[in-house]
Structure 1
Amino acid sequence: MSGTHTVLYDPHGLIEAELPLDRAPYEALVTAVLAWKDPHLEPRDYEQIALQLTGHARAVAAHVKRHAAALPKNDSRGALAEVVLREATGRLSAPLKGTAHCAQNRARLVRALYTRLDRLTEAIPAAP
């Protein structure tokens, strides 16, 4: 068997940009996590859920960034996206913990990023 492999070099994330987000399962996960009252899970289970949400938050943030960069400089949606992205960067840099609170914070972040992405992809209403 050959020991060769192909290394993908995509410094601008162009391949990922073409891939659609698998939104429905993550929205269902966000809804479930935010509905928790006292789930009594093991710390490693909370960590795994938070890890899944972290990875998806990074993917959504990349989409937000690409959409915001494509807007005209005077479009306020781009400025709002930058605020959300700065907050996301700060929240994603926090270490994961094996707690419901950590997983719920990541779920809130995914929800906020999708809200911003939806705003960026909405058609701009025509001026009267």
Structure 2
Amino acid sequence: MSDTFAVLHDPDGLIEAELPLDRAPHEALVTAVRAWNDPDLASRDYEQIALQLTGHARAVAADVRRLATALPKSDGRGALAEVVLREADGRLAVPLEGTARCVQNRARLVRALYTRLDRLTEPAPAAT
């Protein structure tokens, strides 16, 4: 085992942008969490699920931000993405709680971010 290591300097997040999101398992988790009806889990279980969703929400938000930034200023999808990203930043700033409500809020956030991501990857609407 080596005692050396390399520090990665990637201030623009280019390496992360090249990695695809692991979307299917997270969408399945979001669907399951949103369908909960009074689950009875331990607080630490809720916290772990919330952490998983929080990390994924941050990754999806980074993709949304990257795509929105690349759009021309005249493309309204960028402005809508900024609204969603501001809301996401505010919701992600709220401390996690070991509750079903907290987990479901994070699941709704992931869903909203994926909806915006999908809109950004669609072809731009034709100008009228």
**CA-atom RMSD in angstroms:** 0.9
Per-residue CA distance 1:82-103 (angstroms, 9 max, x = gap): 0000000000000000000000
State the match for 2:2 in structure 1: 2
Per-residue CA distance 1:18-71 (angstroms, 9 max, x = gap): 000000000000000000001100000000000000000000000000000010
CA distance in 2, matches of 1:68, 1:126: 18
CA distance in 2, matches of 1:100, 1:44: 11
TM-score normalised by structure 1 residue count = 0.97
State the match for 2:78 in structure 1: 78
> What is the deviation of 1:127?
4.0
State the match for 2:26 in structure 1: 26
> What is the deviation of 1:9?
0.8
State the match for 1:87 in structure 2: 87
Identity, % of aligned positions: 80
TM-score normalised by structure 2 residue count = 0.97
Helix, strand or coil at the partner of 2:81: helix
Structure 2 unaligned residues grouped into runs of 5+? none
CA distance in 2, matches of 1:88, 1:124: 23
Q: How does 1:1-128 map to 2 (within 5 A)?
A: 1-127=1-127
Helix, strand or coil at the partner of 1:56: helix
CA distance in 2, matches of 1:29, 1:94: 21
CA distance in 2, matches of 1:76, 1:125: 10
Structure 1 unaligned residues grouped into runs of 5+? none
